[in-house]
A and B are shown apart, each in its own frame.
Chain A
Amino acid sequence: MAAMMQPQIILLKEGTDTAQGKAQVVSNINACTAVADSVRSTLGPRGMDKLIHDDKGNTTISNDGATIMKLLDIVHPAAKILVDIAKSQDSEVGDGTTTVVLLAGEFLKEAKPFIEDGVHSQNLIRSYRTASNLAINKIRDLSVSIEGKSLEEKKTLLAKCAETTLSSKLIGGEKEFFALMVVDAVLAIGDGDRLNLIGIKKVPGGTMRDSFLVNGVAFKKTFSYAGFEQQPKSFVKPKILLLNIELELKSEKENAEIRLSDPSQYQSIVDAEWNIIYDKLDKCVQSGAKIVLSRLAIGDLATQYFADRDIFCAGRVTEEDLQRVAAATGGTVQTSVNNVIDEVLGYCELFEEKQVGNERFNIFSGCPAGQTATIVLRGGADQFIDEAERSLHDAIMIVRRAVKNSTVVAGGGAIDMEISRYLRQHARTIAGKSQLFINSYAKALEVIPRQLCDNAGFDATDVLNKLRQKHASGEGANYGVDINTGGIADSFANFVWEPSVVKINAINAATEAACLILSVDETVKNPKSESAQGEAAASAMAGRGRGLPRGGRGMRRR
C-alpha cells in the first residue's frame, strides 16, 4: 500500500514518446542518410531507375527524386523534411530533386562525427549557413547570362539546358529530339507563365521518335453520336465556338413543371422543346463558326444538325483542353448561345483530325494567340510513357526557369567542385572551429561528382582527384565529370548546362533542411487521438485508468 501511495510525476499523457539529447540528433541524421541512400543511385545520366510498387498494386518506374520520395511513404518525422524539400524543389524549379535530397543527406552525414564529438549543433548550423551564402554568391559569380542573344541562338542554348536534364532520364537516348520539342513548347507559351497551357498527351504504341509537338492544341476524339462521321474533318481557317452548355433535347430546368388542362396543347409543348433546341443550334450556325466544342454533351440531334451544315462538333471536351483551345485560338467559353458576337469566337489556321496510333486526335494548329503547345508522346509500355511525361515535365520547368532567369552554370559536377574548392580556400582564412565545419560542407558538395562517377561505374576517387587538381590549378572552373569517357572534361564547352537557379535553390533548400534537422534536440510524440486504443495496447502503462497513475512512475523518457 505504501508503494501505491507514493506520489508520482506524470507530466505528459500516457503513451507520449519523448527523446532528447545528442542521441536524438544522431538518430535523426541516421534516418535522413538512409533516405538519401535510397535515391542516391538515381543521380545523373547513368543513374538507375527505381520500380515502386505501392499498396494499391500500382507500379511506377521513375528516377525523378520527387516522385520517388513521394511514393516512399516516409513516417520518420525528421526524414519527412527531406521529402518536403524534394517537393519544394519540384514546385520551385522542377528539377534537381535528387540533388537536393542527396546534398541534405551528405551535409548531415558530414555533421554527424562533429555532433558525436560533442560540438554544439548551433555552431555547425551557423557555419553551414555562412557556407551556403558564400556558395550561392559564388554560383551567381560563375553563372553565365544567355540574355541578349538572338532567338535562334537562345533556342539552341535553352535546348542545351533541356538536354542536360533529359540526359539523366529514361528518354535520355533521344534527348536532342525531345529537347528541341520542349524548347519549342516553352517558347510557344511565351510570357503567359501558365504551365497547364502545355498539354502532354500519351498514346501507347509506336516509338519515342513518333512523338510530336503540336503548335496549338490536340486532344483525343471525344465520344460522338451518329452523324459524326458525316462531318467534315478538316478546315482551313475555321472559326471556333466554345460552349459550356448541353446541346441536347432535355428538360430545360429541373425545377419547372408543366401542367396541362387541355390535351391538345400537349403537342405544342413537345414542339416548343424542339424549338428551343433548334433555336440554340441555329444560333450556333448563325455565329459563323465552323467548329463547335462543348464541355458538356452534344447529343445526336445536334451532331446530325451540324453534319448537315458542314460543321464539326465535339462534346464532352475536358475542361483543361477547352481552356487550352480558348487560350490558343483567342476565343472565350460561352455559357449561352444568345448574342454570340464575333469577338468571342476562336480562330486558327488549320483544324484536322488525325490518326495517331489507334486513337484519333483533333488538332488545332497555327493559332494566332499562340500561347499553347501540346506534346503527343508515343512509346511502348504505359510506365514508360508515364516516366517520359515526368521527364518532359522536368525539362519544361527547367527551360521555363532558364527563360526567366537566363543564367546558366556548368553541369556535370563542375559547379559543385568549383564551389567546394572555393569554400575550402575560404575556410583556410577562418580561425576557429568553423574552419572545420566549412571544410566539411565543402566536402559534402563533392558528393555530386562522386555519385555521378559511382553511378556510371567509374573510379570515383580517381576522377575526383583529377577534378580537384584541375580546379585547384585555377583555370579549370568548368571541368566536370565526362560521363562518356570516364575522365574529366570542360562541361561548359560540352554544353552540359544547368540553369543557375536550380543549383541555388538546391543548395539553399538542402542547407535549410540540414540546419533544421541539426537544430532539433528533442522529439515528443503525443499519442494519436484517433488510434488511442492501438497505441495504448502497444505501449501500455497497464490498465490503471487514464491519467491516474499509481505505481510511482517517473516521466516516460527514453
Chain B
Amino acid sequence: MVFHMQPYGIQGLLKEGHKHLSGLDEAVLKNIDACKQLTLITRTSLGPNGMNKMIINHLDKLFVTNDAATIVNELEVQHPAAKILVLAGKAQQEEIGDGANLTISFAGEILQNAEELIRMGLHPSEIISGYTKAINKTIELLEELVEEGSENMDVRSKVEVVSRMKAAVSSKRFGEEDILCPLIADACIQVCPKNPANFNVDNVRIVKLVGGGLHNCSVVRGMILKNDAIGSIKKVEKAKIVVFTGGVDTSATETKGTVLIQNAEQLEKYAKTEEAKVEELIKAVADSGAKVVVSGAAVGEMALHFCERYKLMVLKISSKFELRRFCRTTGAVALLKLCPPNPDNLGYADSVSVEEIGGARVTIVKNDEAGNSVTTVVLRGSTDSILDDLERAVDDGVNTYKAMCRDSRILPGAAATEIELARKLKEFSFKETGLDQYAIAKFAESFEMVPKILADNAGLNAMEIISSLYAEHASGNTKVGIDIEEGVCKDVSNLNIWDLYVTKFFALKYATDAACTVLRVDQIIMSKPAGGPKRDQPAGMDED
C-alpha cells in the first residue's frame, strides 16, 4: 500500500516492529491462558500417583521425572507471564526444596478462576484485592490447622523425621518411600549439628551407581569417591590422612627455566639429587604418621614410587569442592604444597578402602566416630534416569529435613488441609461485603484442585471424592483426606500422612503472589528483537 496509514497512538510512539498488546482480552486473558497451558503440563505430575515427564533438553540430555522444579527448569518457557509462574516455582524450590508443583499448579488454578471472574465483569484489581484478603485469611487458617504438639519435635528421632518426610518423598517415588525415608532420615540425623537450624544440605552427599536395585541402596558414614586409588595399596584402616591441594610431585618452576650444567660431575648428580629430594619429602610425610596421601592434582611417578615404598595409600581428588568436603569429613587441613605436615593438620578416617560396586570401583572413606560431618547416600538403580529421579527424591527429603529443623509444625496431608481451607474460606467469603466476596469464593474453590488432581491421577472419580470429603469435613472430621491406595476417604492421622507447615505456607504464598503479578499486567510491550545472527531460517510450511 502506497498510502500507508499513519501510525497513531502508542504505535506512533514506539519504534517500528514493536508489539503492543493491551486490554483485558489481549493481555490479561492471554496471559492467563499461557499460565494455564503451563499448569496443564505440571499438574498431572502432582501427588504420589503423578505421571512422569520425559524431557529432552537442548543438550540432548534425557530427564524422566515428575519433579515440577526440574520440569519447568528444562522446559525453556518463553512466555513472559508463564515465566512468572516458573520463577515462583523456583523460589519455592530454593526456599524449601519441595512443593514446587503445588506452587505452580495452584497459581495456575487461581488464575483460571480469575478468568471466570473477569468474564463475569470483575476488574482485575478487585480480584487482586480479593485474593490478597483470601491469602491472608488462609494463612491464619493454616496456623489453626497445625497439628497440636507438632511444634516440638526431636529432629534426631528417626520415627518423627520419617513421618514428616514421607509425604514429600512418596510424591516423587511412590511405593518406594518405605525404603527411601529411613535411609534419608538416617543420613540427615547423622550429620545434624548441635543446633539443628544450622543443618547444611550439602553435608548429605549422593552417589549414584548404575546396577542393582532400590534394596541395594545404603548410607555410608563418610564419603564415597568415584575413582580408584592410584597406587597398589587399596585398603587402609584407622589411617591418618594428609591432604595436599597442589600436586604431589617435584616442584617445577612456573617461569621457564633451564638448569645450567657446567661439568660432568654436576650432570651425574643432577638426577640423583632430585630423586633424593622427593624421597626426603615423602619420607617426612610417612614419618608424620600419615598413611593416606590425598592429592588435588597430578601425582608424579617418582612421588608415587616413594609413596609405594613407604606404604602410603594415594588418592587423587581433582574437584576442589570434593576436596573441601573430604577435608571436612576427615578433619584434615589441606596443605598447599608438598611439605612435611604438622600433626595438627592431619585428618583421620576409620577406614579408606577401594571396593567394587556394580562394576565400578569406588573409594569408600568411612568415619564412624563422632565429629564427622558428611554422610553419603548410595543410590542404586538400573538406569541413569531412574538414578537421577531417585536423587531428586532424596534431595527433596533432605530439604524437607532442613525445613523441619527450622519449623517442625505439620498439617494433615492427602488433601485434608486443602479441603478444610476451602470450606473455611468459603464461610469467610459470605461474611465479606462487596465484590471481594466473589474473588474469595473462587480462591476457596481453587483449593479443590488438589484433591481433584490427586483423585484424577489415581484413577478415581474426583467429584465423588470431593463431595464426600466436604461431607466429612462439615461433620467435623477435619483430618479426613484421600487414601489413594484404596480410593476412599480416611482420617490421615491414622495413615500418618503429614505435610510440613512451612512448605504449604510458602507454596500458597508464592503462588498467590505470582498470580496477582500476572493479573496486574494489562499491557504487554515487546520490543523488536535486536539483530544479530539469524537463528531461524525462513522455510516452507509447517509440517503439522
Contact B58 A528 (CB under 8 A): yes
8 closest residue pairs by CB, A with B: A543-B538, A91-B359, A92-B211, A120-B459, A335-B305, A540-B539, A509-B382, A84-B383
Contact A193 B30 (CB under 8 A): no
B contact residues around A81 at 8 Å (CB) = 64, 383, 385
B contact residues around A244 at 8 Å (CB) = 301, 305
Question: Is B232 in contact with chain A by the CB < 8 A criterion?
Answer: yes
A contact residues around B535 at 8 Å (CB) = 532-533, 536, 546
B contact residues around A10 at 8 Å (CB) = 78-79
Q: Give A323-366 interface residues, CB cut-off 8 Å to B.
A: 326-327, 332-336, 338, 344
Instruction: List the A residue with the shortest CB-CB distance to B29.
Output: A7
6 more A-B residue pairs beyond the given contacts A14-B536, A28-B54, A193-B356, with a C-beta to C-beta distance below 8 A: A85-B382, A260-B262, A508-B212, A536-B536, A536-B537, A542-B540
0/1 interface trace, chain B 138-178, chain A, CB 8 Å (1 if under) = 00000000000000000000000000000000000011000
Which residue from A84, A275, A327, A521 sits with its C-beta under 8 Å from B268? A275
Question: Is B52 in contact with chain A by the CB < 8 A criterion?
Answer: yes
Contact A505 B213 (CB under 8 A): yes
0/1 interface trace, chain A 244-268, chain B, CB 8 Å (1 if under) = 1000000011011111100001001
Contact B537 A540 (CB under 8 A): yes
CA distance A126 to B177 in the complex (A): 13
0/1 interface trace, chain B 491-524, chain A, CB 8 Å (1 if under) = 0000000000000000000000000000000001
Contact A512 B386 (CB under 8 A): yes
0/1 interface trace, chain A 527-540, chain B, CB 8 Å (1 if under) = 11100110011111
A89: shortest Cβ distance to chain B, in Å? Answer: 8
CA distance A120 to B38 in the complex (A): 22
Contact A509 B213 (CB under 8 A): yes
Which residue from A80, A542, A543, A548 sits with its C-beta under 8 Å from B62? A80
CA distance A544 to B34 in the complex (A): 20
Q: Give A518-532 interface residues, CB cut-off 8 Å to B.
A: 519-529, 532
The residue among B66, B211, B382, B538 with the most chain A CB atoms within 10 A of its own CB is B382
Q: Give B192-235 interface residues, CB cut-off 8 Å to A.
A: 210-214, 232
CA distance A255 to B38 in the complex (A): 63
Instruction: List the A residue with the shortest CB-CB distance to B389.
Output: A516
Contacts known (A516-B383, A524-B56); A257 close to B305, Cβ less than 8 A: no
Question: Is A71 in contact with chain B by the CB < 8 A criterion?
Answer: no
CA distance A513 to B213 in the complex (A): 11
Which residue from A121, A527, A536, A558 sits with its C-beta under 8 Å from B51? A121
CA distance A123 to B460 in the complex (A): 11
B71: shortest Cβ distance to chain A, in Å? Answer: 8
CA distance A120 to B540 in the complex (A): 40
CA distance A14 to B544 in the complex (A): 13
Question: Is A447 in contact with chain B by the CB < 8 A criterion?
Answer: no
Contact B383 A88 (CB under 8 A): yes
Question: Is B302 in contact with chain A by the CB < 8 A criterion?
Answer: yes
CA distance A544 to B542 in the complex (A): 13
Contact B60 A252 (CB under 8 A): no
Contact B79 A9 (CB under 8 A): yes
CA distance A542 to B214 in the complex (A): 48
The residue among B304, B383, B385 with the most chain A CB atoms within 10 A of its own CB is B383
B contact residues around A461 at 8 Å (CB) = none
Q: Give B83-122 interface residues, CB cut-off 8 Å to A.
A: none
Instruction: List the A residue with the shortest CB-CB distance to B356.
Output: A193
Question: Is B471 in contact with chain A by the CB < 8 A criterion?
Answer: no
A82: shortest Cβ distance to chain B, in Å? Answer: 9
B36: shortest Cβ distance to chain A, in Å? Answer: 9
Question: Is A269 in contact with chain B by the CB < 8 A criterion?
Answer: yes
A513: shortest Cβ distance to chain B, in Å? Answer: 6
Contact B529 A123 (CB under 8 A): no
A contact residues around B2 at 8 Å (CB) = none
Interface 9-residue window, one of B253-261, B343-351, B436-444: B253-261
Question: Is B41 in contact with chain A by the CB < 8 A criterion?
Answer: yes
A contact residues around B432 at 8 Å (CB) = none
A contact residues around B317 at 8 Å (CB) = none
Instruction: List the B residue with the shortest CB-CB distance to A433.
Output: B459
A255: shortest Cβ distance to chain B, in Å? Answer: 6
CA distance A334 to B78 in the complex (A): 61
B contact residues around A28 at 8 Å (CB) = 54
Contact A84 B384 (CB under 8 A): yes
Contact B305 A523 (CB under 8 A): no
Instruction: List the A residue with the shortest CB-CB distance to B539.
Output: A540
Contact A523 B538 (CB under 8 A): no
A contact residues around B302 at 8 Å (CB) = 335-336
Contact B34 A11 (CB under 8 A): yes
Question: Is B358 in contact with chain A by the CB < 8 A criterion?
Answer: yes
B contact residues around A73 at 8 Å (CB) = none
Question: Is B335 in contact with chain A by the CB < 8 A criterion?
Answer: no
Question: Is B247 in contact with chain A by the CB < 8 A criterion?
Answer: no
Question: Is A16 in contact with chain B by the CB < 8 A criterion?
Answer: yes
Question: Is B21 in contact with chain A by the CB < 8 A criterion?
Answer: yes
B contact residues around A259 at 8 Å (CB) = 260-262
Which residue from B76, B275, B305, B529 sits with its C-beta under 8 Å from A13? B76
Contact A526 B259 (CB under 8 A): no
B531: shortest Cβ distance to chain A, in Å? Answer: 10
Contact B264 A268 (CB under 8 A): yes
A contact residues around B77 at 8 Å (CB) = 11-12
B contact residues around A269 at 8 Å (CB) = 263-264, 267
CA distance A193 to B233 in the complex (A): 14
Question: Is A273 in contact with chain B by the CB < 8 A criterion?
Answer: yes
Contact A525 B262 (CB under 8 A): no
Contact A543 B539 (CB under 8 A): yes
Contact A523 B75 (CB under 8 A): no
Contact A271 B264 (CB under 8 A): yes
CA distance A519 to B67 in the complex (A): 13
0/1 interface trace, chain A 187-202, chain B, CB 8 Å (1 if under) = 0000001100000000
Q: List 22 A-B contacts (CB under 8 A).
A: A8-B30, A9-B34, A13-B78, A14-B536, A88-B358, A252-B271, A253-B259, A257-B258, A276-B267, A335-B305, A512-B382, A513-B383, A520-B54, A522-B44, A525-B56, A529-B58, A529-B59, A537-B539, A540-B539, A541-B536, A545-B536, A547-B78
A205: shortest Cβ distance to chain B, in Å? Answer: 32
Contact A332 B383 (CB under 8 A): no
Question: Is A77 in contact with chain B by the CB < 8 A criterion?
Answer: yes
Question: Is B33 in contact with chain A by the CB < 8 A criterion?
Answer: yes
A7: shortest Cβ distance to chain B, in Å? Answer: 5
CA distance A125 to B458 in the complex (A): 11
Question: Is B74 in contact with chain A by the CB < 8 A criterion?
Answer: yes
B contact residues around A268 at 8 Å (CB) = 263-264
Instruction: List the B residue with the shortest CB-CB distance to A13.
Output: B76
Question: Is A443 in contact with chain B by the CB < 8 A criterion?
Answer: no
Q: Give A1-53 interface residues, CB cut-off 8 Å to B.
A: 5, 7-14, 16, 18, 20, 28
Question: Is A556 in contact with chain B by the CB < 8 A criterion?
Answer: yes
Question: Is B526 in contact with chain A by the CB < 8 A criterion?
Answer: yes
B contact residues around A129 at 8 Å (CB) = 175
Question: Is A61 in contact with chain B by the CB < 8 A criterion?
Answer: no
0/1 interface trace, chain A 68-94, chain B, CB 8 Å (1 if under) = 000000000110110011011111100
